[in-house]
Structure 1
Amino acid sequence: MSPVPLIVYHIPYRTGQPLDADALRALGSLAGVAGVKYAAGGIDAETVALLGRLPDGFAVLAGDDAYAVPDAGARRLGGGARLGPSGDGALRGARGGLAGR
């Protein structure tokens, strides 16, 4: 296991290999994986499916500039913010979520 939290990069328009919500959740449940940089090019059904059921302590970081800060409220989607219902800071939440993994 890595001595530091790992972030999965999901950038299908660059890799040509999209991952669905189930695959990203499976990666997120692995020991040491703290989150995903999610740059799918938009907020689509897979994005909603992923956000609807995240593994504990798994952060989703906005990877597309256009979606980085669509809301200045408590639930920002910025690169340093959790893209999900709690609005917790991703790095803080990701590190805390690794306890016991």
Structure 2
Amino acid sequence: MTALLALIGVLLAMAAVFAVFLMHVRVRFVIDLNDGRARVLRGDPPSAFVRGCSDVARLYRVRRGRIVGVRTAGGIELRFSRDLPERAHQPLRNVWVPPGSGGPGGGRAAGG
């Protein structure tokens, strides 16, 4: 019985480590907001988004907060720290413009 409980404990610990690893891999960028300034802590978010975050932080007088871009099946999802005021969430989402797919298009049309 003790061996079974130990095995279950080890499996649960491994599952927790695996879940943390998956979450860590899915994080595309982290932006820290401090006294109206945005600073990239991790990843490579679009520079226009970082500038927009600074603008929103100044406009809404955000003292501190953190924005995390997490990759999901539908694209990048923005997640906000608890100390980021709720009133600033939507304006931050509004300045987020997801990067293009990187697929074909955008070039000159082939003509004949």
- State TM-score, norm by structure 2: 0.23
Which structure has more strand as a fraction of its residues? 2
RCO greater where, 1 or 2, for CA within 8 Å and sep 6 or more? 1
> Whose helix fraction is larger, Structure 1's or Structure 2's?
2
Q: TM-score, normalised by structure 1?
A: 0.25
